[in-house]
Amino acid sequence: MYIVLGASESGAAGEFLWEAVTVADGRVGSRRTVPESKLGQFVHEVEDSNRPAPIRWVWADSRQIMPLFLAQGISPERSHDLRLIQRILSIATTHSQSHITFAPTLDLLQESPEKPWGMLPPARQIQGQDSLFDDGFLSASKPDTGQKTAPTASQLAVELQTQLRAIEAAPHPRRLKLLAAAESTGGMIAAEMKFHGMPWNKSLHEKLLVETLGPRPAPFERPAEMEKLATEIREKLATPKLNVDSPQELLRALQSAGIRVKSTSKWALKGWAEENPQLAQQRRSLIEPLLAYKKLARLFTANGWNWLDEWVQDDRFHPSYEVGGVVTGRWGAHGGGAMQIPRDVRTAVAAEPGKMLVVADASQVEPRILAAMSGDEKLALAGRGTDLYLGIAKIGEHTGSALNERAQAKIALLGAMYGATTGESGKLMPHLRTMFPQAIEFTERAARVGEQGGQVSTYLGRVSPAPSSEWFERQRRQATAEDERAAMAASRSWGRFTRNFVVQGTAAEWALCWMAQIRQKLRATTLFGKPLQSQLVYFLHDEIMIYGPEREASLCEQIVRDAAQAAGELLFGHISVEFPVTIAVTDNYSTAK
DNA sequence: CGCGGCGGCGCG
DNA sequence: AAAGCGCGCCGCCGCG
């Protein structure tokens, strides 16, 4: 049963009124008005009295409603986030003639039941998107006035039914239903993570900053250690007024000093130092301070004192995640760079006394997903009970293949998923193809669809965007040899995108299911008759962090492992692909892994 | 002056 | 100085 939560139509003055409307078997049932301050209590009571019959709460936007629940001390069990699901359905329907049902387009995506993707019609059939809600109908408040103009429960109930019909009419309703549930749970988890925050020891962080940069500088000034290095660099280059932060100035100064690099990047500088060991010591002694300066500059600007002031309150880092913010369905994050916390800075992520961090990292998710999607039993077997890359190397050894080392296996497999053609990865590809023809053929089919301007889909049904009209224009007009070359390059490039999309996107779906399973198990588990206090506090593509009392850590560890395998089965059913997880129970993030 | 693009670097 | 995917953030730099 669904219960839709939207604005009440009886817009009384004073406290904001919500309305709850039940929807079951496609019919709207009872209605009830709930004042905002009682919303959490209402949800809690309804869930309790209906247990074990599942209730799925429906709302416009988790980002709006979840903070209300969390502030009232509850978090619903299941949900359907209309904004998130509409986005998933609408990408698939960019081509659709109809804005009522999404089904016709989804049918076109399906060549045959065995194939998880197919071709869409050519670009000229692309229509303007006719979503019901392009006007921001689903947004719950007007940014300019801050006034609530939330959609009513009745309006949302209509949208729900539209979405449910579209899902039922899809080629794989079970999969799309699972995606809707997982994505919605992701919406709740993201809100919970933001609410609880990640433990962040401000004084440890400050200690790290002072030790590496020196004391906090005055505004607009460089920290002492950076200034020292800058002075050293200016002296060695004989350019007293050089701004070390300016790539242009720096590049010119380097070239004047006889260091013939094409860019000032770390890689270029390291490469130059390696290629010219015979050159004067003074010149190489310049590279080191320069690299050191870059390292410090990065720490200072990205995760320095200003960052601490802005993002860490009361020893908690509260990042904003954007569920499905990446085209492939991965989460994005805005503000605070939650998904780029440098290794060195992780020392600041420390457990308080009596608490522990459970840091779990799923091993080689993308190649395992490839094995599962492509049904490549040999690749699945290579990863059973062991490191997948090592498993591949061992197979290579037994069969006398040139691909017989772990490092090679990793480069080759990543290259296959990214579309590498040159370098070591390109060289190893033929051997990989011989070993795993089914998996390799799968990635190449995905690439071919993209090269021709088609769209691909993840296993659960998230569809890749169509190329831009400029892309199609480039394919159409190939007057000169230069045009032809550009068209080919663009085609290949889009092929690499779709090739990667299916794997990265399905891996993101696996990760969503993993987290959803963890959340569910954490909620359902008790210790000495009491619910667990441990919370999911961080997520990074294939890694999660749980924070809670030390005594719960081993339980959490088991939950995380079980959830990983359960996620695989939820997606693919019973398959021979394993999803092993590396777990560190630690009081400091930097010591994990 | 503000803005967007870009080089550079952090993460998976 | 990457190759070969997906991101966010910072400072610089050129544009209007």
A249 touches strand C (CB under 7 A): yes
pLDDT digits (tens, 9 = 90+) for A14-64: 889 999 999 998 899 999 999 999 999 999 999 999 988 889 999 999 999
pLDDT digits (tens, 9 = 90+) for A375-384: 999 999 999 9
Residue A272 pLDDT: 87
**pLDDT confidence band for A543 (50 / 70 / 90):** very high
Mark which of A480, A505, A530 sits at the end of a domain: A505
Residue A62 pLDDT: 96
Q: Which nucleotides of B are covered by protein (CB under 7 A)?
A: 7-12
Residue A280 pLDDT: 66
Residue nearest to nucleotide C4 (CA to C1'): A420
pLDDT digits (tens, 9 = 90+) for A226-239: 999 999 999 999 99
A420 and A461 in a single domain? The answer is yes
pLDDT, average across residues A323-330: 94
Between A322 and A274, name the one with better pLDDT: A322
pLDDT value at A126 more than 50 = no
Which among A588, A568, A514, A525 has a CA at the least distance from the CA of A186?
Answer: A514
pLDDT, average across residues A466-481: 89
Boundaries of domain holding A454: 366-505
Distance A508 CA to B1 C1' (A): 42
- State the total domains in chain A: 4
Q: What is the CATH number of the domain that holds A554?
A: 3.30.70.370
Residue A92 pLDDT: 62
A17 touches strand C (CB under 7 A): no
How distant, in Å, are the alpha carbons of A146, A244, A516 from that of A361?
Answer: 40, 38, 16
Amino acid at residue number A377: E
pLDDT value at A154 more than 50 = yes
Residue nearest to nucleotide C8 (CA to C1'): A337
Distance A266 CA to B9 C1' (A): 9
A108 and A186 in a single domain? The answer is yes
A70 and A34 in a single domain? The answer is yes
Distance A70 CA to C3 C1' (A): 46
How distant, in Å, are the alpha carbons of A78, A392, A394, A479, A548 from that of A407?
Answer: 42, 10, 12, 44, 36
Mark which of A265, A293, A309 sits at the end of a domain: A309
List the strands of the sheet with A581-586, edge to edge.
A535-539, A543-549, A355-362, A581-586
A268 and A401 in a single domain? The answer is no
Radius of gyration in angstroms for the set of CA atoms belonging to chain A, rounded to a whole number: 27
Segment (H or E) for A256: helix A247-256
Distance A225 CA to C9 C1' (A): 22
Contacts of A354 (CB under 8 A, 6+ apart): A549, A550
A471 touches strand C (CB under 7 A): no
pLDDT digits (tens, 9 = 90+) for A70-124: 999 999 999 999 999 999 998 764 433 222 222 222 232 333 223 223 222 222 2
Q: What is the CATH number of the domain that holds A463?
A: 1.10.150.20
A538 and A562 in a single domain? The answer is yes
pLDDT, average across residues A122-127: 26
Distance A569 CA to B12 C1' (A): 23
Count Cβ atoms within 10 A of the Cβ of residue A126 and give its class: 0-12 exposed, 13-18 middle, 19 or more buried.
middle
Name residues 335-364 of chain A with a Cβ under 7 Å from nucleic strand C: 335-337, 339-340
A303 and A340 in a single domain? The answer is no
Please give the DSSP secondary-structure letter assigned to residue A351: P
Contacts of A493 (CB under 8 A, 6+ apart): none
Name residues 474-533 of chain A with a Cβ under 7 Å from nucleic strand C: 493, 496-497, 500-501, 504
**Torsion angle in degrees (nearest 10) through CA of A90, A93, A98, A101:** -70
Distance A423 CA to C3 C1' (A): 6
Q: Which nucleotides of C are covered by protein (CB under 7 A)?
A: 1-14
Residue nearest to nucleotide C5 (CA to C1'): A418
pLDDT digits (tens, 9 = 90+) for A265-304: 998 888 888 888 777 676 778 889 999 999 999 999 999 9
Tokens of A1: 């049963």
Q: What is the CATH number of the domain that holds A225?
A: 1.20.1060
Residue whose token pair is 């998880």: A116
Distance A261 CA to B2 C1' (A): 33
Residue A593 pLDDT: 77
Tokens of A503: 């794997």
Question: Using CA atoms, how far apart are residues A380 and A580, in angstroms rounded to an integer?
Answer: 12
A274 and A159 in a single domain? The answer is no
pLDDT value at A138 more than 80 = no
A429 and A343 in a single domain? The answer is no
Residue A532: strand, helix, or coil: coil
> Are A251 and A264 a contacting pair, CB within 8 Å?
yes
> Are A590 and A204 a contacting pair, CB within 8 Å?
no
Residue A428: strand, helix, or coil: helix
pLDDT digits (tens, 9 = 90+) for A197-249: 999 999 999 999 999 999 999 988 999 999 999 999 999 999 999 999 999 99
Tokens of A67: 């903070």
A69 and A58 in a single domain? The answer is yes
Q: Which residues touch strand B (CB under 7 A)?
A: A 247, 251, 263-267, 294-295, 298, 302, 339-343, 504, 540-543
pLDDT value at A557 more than 80 = yes
Residue A149 pLDDT: 60
